[in-house]
Amino acid sequence: MPIGNLSLPDAAAGSVAFGSVQADGDPPGIVPSPATLPVRVVCRICAQITTEMVMLAAHRIQMRRDRRRTLCHVRQIAMYVCHVALQIPLFEIARAFGRDRTTVGHACHVVEDRRDDPAFDEFVAAVERTVNSVFRTNGALGHE
């Protein structure tokens, strides 16, 4: 599952439609609260946001040249942001990404260690702010 290709379920199959991202009963263009979205979808949206931001800021942060490694680092950042910014438990993130809970823990440690680099820290902080602005409503997260 490449992170760069986000494919959300259609409106008939679930509660989220790609393009106009809406839940059942919500007007088009309104992002539903995270409580109405499955954790898997929230994590995939977070991964897509991280991917897009890496593509925009690739010259500013030091990413690996190898495409497979870059995808791994993007996935690690997305897992970290899901856990730290959205406060989703490790086992739910693991299930959403198709990984083990210990892999998510390792990803969080790797990203935390890399935050010593000021450029990388600034990038991760920007991803956290972006994800928070997408999923936070009135200062509270729906998963809590």
Q: Which two tokens stand for residue 87?
A: 């406060």
Whether the pLDDT of residue 18 is over 50: the answer is no
Is residue 143 in some structural domain? Answer: no
Which structural domain, as residue segments, surrounds residue 45?
38-135
Q: What is the CATH number of the domain that holds 75?
A: 1.10.1750.10
Q: Which two tokens stand for residue 97?
A: 């990404």
Is residue 67 in some structural domain? Answer: yes
Domain count for the chain, please give it: 1
Instruction: Report the pLDDT value the prediction gives residue 130, as an integer from 0 to 100.
Output: 93
Three-state secondary structure call for residue 24: coil
Based on DSSP, count helices (H) and strands (E) in the chain, helices before strands.
5, 0
Is residue 3 in some structural domain? Answer: no
Instruction: Report the pLDDT value the prediction gives residue 84, as an integer from 0 to 100.
Output: 94
Is residue 7 in some structural domain? Answer: no
What would the pLDDT profile of 24-64 be if each residue is shown by its tens digit? 454 555 555 555 788 999 999 999 999 999 888 766 555 55
Instruction: Report the pLDDT value the prediction gives residue 63, as an integer from 0 to 100.
Output: 56
Alpha-helical runs (H) found in 1-84: 39-56, 67-84
The mean pLDDT of 108-124, rounded to a whole number, is 94
Instruction: Report the pLDDT value the prediction gives residue 29, as an integer from 0 to 100.
Output: 53
What's at 83, amino acid-wise?
A: H
User: Which residue is associated with the tokens 């823990």?
Assistant: 105
What would the pLDDT profile of 62-104 be if each residue is shown by its tens digit? 555 666 777 888 999 999 999 999 999 999 999 999 999 999 9
Is residue 1 in some structural domain? Answer: no
**How far apart are the C-alpha atoms of 104 and 93, rounded to whole Å?**
7
